[in-house]
A and B are shown apart, each in its own frame.
Chain A
Amino acid sequence: MLRNRRIWLALSLLVVILLLAACGGAQVEKVGEPTQAPTEAPTKAPEPTKAPAATEAPAEDQGPAKAPSGEPVKIGAVMPLSAPGSVTGGKAMQAAFEIAAEEINAAGGILGRPLELIMEDTEGLPERGAAVMEKLISQDQVVAVVGEYHSSVGLAEMEVAHDNHIPIVFAETWNDKITASRYPEVFRVAPLSSEVAQLDTDFIASLGVKKVVIMTENTDYGIPAAEKTTEKLKDRGIEAVTFSADPGTQDFSSIIERIKGESPELILVLLTGETSFNFEQQAAEAGIGPQDVAMICNQVAADSESFWKNVPDGNFCFYRQVGLPPVLWTDKTKAFAEKYTAKTGEATPPSYAMEAYDSLWVMVTAINNAGSTDPDAIIEALENISYEGALGTITFPVNSKNPPEKAGKEDKWWHQFPDFAAVFIQYQQKGQMSSDAPVVFPDKFKTADPILP
């Protein structure tokens, strides 16, 4: 018996070695030859990404308001719905997607057919995001994908979308690398991280401070943002020191004492979720809170109910609101905000909910404009789109007809929605709702002067 086992063992070992050796060829690059991307060449997935024949013939005879009928058109939506992802963000996006999907189906669906939105949880894990994308594309046969909250997950998803040639509109992934990839399939309605850093810098400079401490999250969102902001602040002659912590850190007392030692004039918080609340409240208790030192709390502070519960001493916090300030809301924004409040009970929709809502609408509008679910047609329609949404008029002006070189812009502007609005708001009264808090920057939207401690 034992000998028998050995034979089996040897045999299977042989099989494995053969298999591995057969497969695992090394990647060889030759200096002097143009960097080939041969590995990517035969990548186009063999399976059709579009639904069967019916797709090609758009049901043009049906009026847009008619109830959609026929085979549904499938679109995938990705967002984090369980830890370690940001569940708060994911749930808000989910609600927004549901609202948009209802509206779309009420307005006649896609190409006269109903929209079937398949929502998937990416858990905030890059590998999970890749797996979910594969599932959506190969199993559910979606024609396009929208959504995502975490940049790190988005970077992984983007590769799958590119490999399978499926258009994707990202909703809340800020990392510059995503659009800088210049993949034809990748579009984004969220702001660029570097542009947000620019806005932060402008605001900080306008306050006239000279020394800043940045408390950042040790992630793909936090570290690049901190680095860019530091760089830009330095150009303005403002000194910045960065401290970082893992998401999920509870006890900040040691770090706060160190920050005190730096005696900053302003603290920029780039933490997210409960971690940012932990830091802000503990800083307030230690005497360097927003009432003692100017503090830019992160945009999670826009969720005023949660903010005041977790940071009761957070009065005079500044926060950045991405998306239109309430004074500039379009009719579409107002309508969406109303539905969002009815659905979730939250007073105002956060920016990522608006982005999620718009990302789905943009995609559906593009498919309707293209008249087909062919990926190339959708991409072309997206490049030409001009859609009135909750975020304003969405366009992607830097595209294959107007590439970055020609437009004189950096690669990061590729397929990027350029006109996102972002403003700074300050809680000037304890317990204030974010919709009532005044805008303090930039000057053209200003409704009150910033109050500095």
Chain B
Amino acid sequence: MRKNIRTLKLLTWILGTGFLILLPFLIPTRMHVAVIALYYAILASSWALLAGYGGQFSFAHMAFAGIGAYTAGLIGKFIRITSAPTGACTEFSLGNWWLVIQDTASPTCLESAKATMPLGTLIIKLPPWLDITMGILVGGLFGLLIGALVLRLRRTYLALFTIAFAEILRTVINAERDVTGGPGGLKVAPLFPNGASIGNHTFSPADKLPSYFVMLALFLLVMALMYWLAGSRFGLFIRSIREDEEAAASLGVDVVRYKILLFTVTAMIAAAAGGVYAHFVRVIAPNMMVIKEMSIVIAMAVIGGMESLLGAAIGAILIEFALEQLRSNITVGPFTLNMADWRLVVFGGLLMLTLRFWGNGLIYPIIQRITRGGVGEETVAKRLQQPAANDSSSLPDAEGPESVP
């Protein structure tokens, strides 16, 4: 029995992953949307971990993605490694190499230093994976600080504080245009600055396919990490905190610590997604953090099913494709509906209705039906069939499969 369930689950996972890997061959012209859909899937499912599992409502998830993106972008803009000192910029020696910062006070220092540096000096821009990693760390740091500041207080404070934090971060990035480029955006190097080659085929930096696989790999990694977390003691604790904080505390769960940990981990996941996104779209602007974007991520998670990581992810992917598809205007007789606006109205309405009538979301129940529904019936039937049988295997079955959906 147990084996069956596992095989079924494994099969679903393999099928799902296989589908995502083959997706580029099914819709080769829509790769951009596919990558963005995966980006939203990472954000929505990590938000589902934070809010659906842990009950912590943060509106700063996009802000963390923004922190990841801007850290990656700013490192690319300001930091270089050189094999000789420039003598003009702010620099630190790392043995034979120098870490050079072209700060805003001397933005062209490196250009002018080129004249004086010995011929053949190497000037290296940090590779994308390194600046994404830095972005993840910075995101985690912010998550830790905010968590430590607010998570001791009541739940509502987190929601209020994060909404304000997201706005302020956007304001600061907008206003400090010398550093961040302001509303005009910040240019970021492509994910594969020198192109990529697999076998004989060479992809140019502008090609979407390699970026798709990077985002897909990140998505799978993040899903694996989150399922592992959710299934571990940590997952148990955060669920207990969500159900009843006082009870959890009285049973010895260090409530604040686990909440902060959860907040930090999801912030880092968001920052990772933001970092890859920045390198993919190659120009980021503070508007990636507007409330509207956050609303979209929340709605994706809710419609997919807030209590299911997979549900939220699938919800995000489907909704992103649907939103892109719904852009063209609809004309009914003399009326033209400007779908650019109306699609969001439909979306907001759907969010409210889902919350009100289908608390588990629209997609999670379907997943449940596929992976578990049949099993449950089967188990019941089996038990009815052999009521006297003291088959030991029926006991664990009665508990149902993994507690993690």
Contacts and interface: CB of A to CB of B under 8 A. Distances in A.
Are any A and B Cβ atoms less than 8 Å apart in their complex?
Answer: yes
Interface of A: 1-2, 5-6, 8-9, 12-13, 15-16, 19-32, 38-40, 42-45, 81-82, 84, 120-121, 124-127, 130-131, 134-135, 138-139, 151-152, 155-156, 159, 163-164, 218-220, 223, 246-247
Given A135-B32, A135-B33, A127 B185 contact: yes
A246 B185 contact: no
Contacts, number: 176
A151 B183 CA distance: 11
8 contacts: A2-B231, A16-B218, A23-B191, A26-B126, A138-B29, A151-B184, A152-B185, A220-B183
Nearest to B186: A126
A31 B232 contact: no
Given A27-B124, A156-B185, A127 B281 contact: yes
Interface residues of B, number: 70
Given A43-B205, A135-B33, A246-B171, A127 B283 contact: yes
Contact of B224 (A9, A131, A223): A9
B122 A28 contact: yes
Nearest 4 pairs of A and B residues by beta carbon: A220-B184, A32-B119, A20-B129, A152-B184
Contacts of B171: 246
Contacts of B290: 84
Given A218-B175, A246-B171, 17 more contacts: A5-B228, A13-B221, A19-B213, A26-B193, A27-B124, A29-B123, A31-B120, A31-B121, A39-B195, A43-B205, A120-B327, A125-B287, A131-B36, A155-B185, A159-B282, A219-B183, A220-B183
**Candidate in A19, A26, A45, A139 with the most chain B CB atoms within 10 angstroms:** A26
B135 to A, nearest CB: 13
B228 A6 contact: yes
Contacts of B214: 19-20, 23
Contact of B191 (A13, A24, A120, A155): A24
B287 A27 contact: no
B32 A134 contact: yes
Interface in B325-371: 327, 338, 340-341
A1 B9 CA distance: 13
Contacts of B283: 126-127, 130, 155-156, 159
A44 B287 CA distance: 30
B376 interface: no
B183 A218 contact: yes
**Candidate in B191, B194, B196, B225 with the most chain A CB atoms within 10 angstroms:** B194
B398 interface: no
Interface of B: 29-33, 36, 114, 117-130, 132, 171, 174-175, 177, 182-185, 189-196, 202, 204-206, 208, 210, 213-214, 217-218, 220-221, 224-225, 227-228, 231-232, 281-285, 287-288, 290, 324, 327, 338, 340-341, 402
Contacts of A124: 287
Contacts of B402: 1
A26 B182 contact: no
**Candidate in A1, A27, A38, A39 with the most chain B CB atoms within 10 angstroms:** A27
A298 to B, nearest CB: 17
Contact of A24 (B128, B184, B324): B128
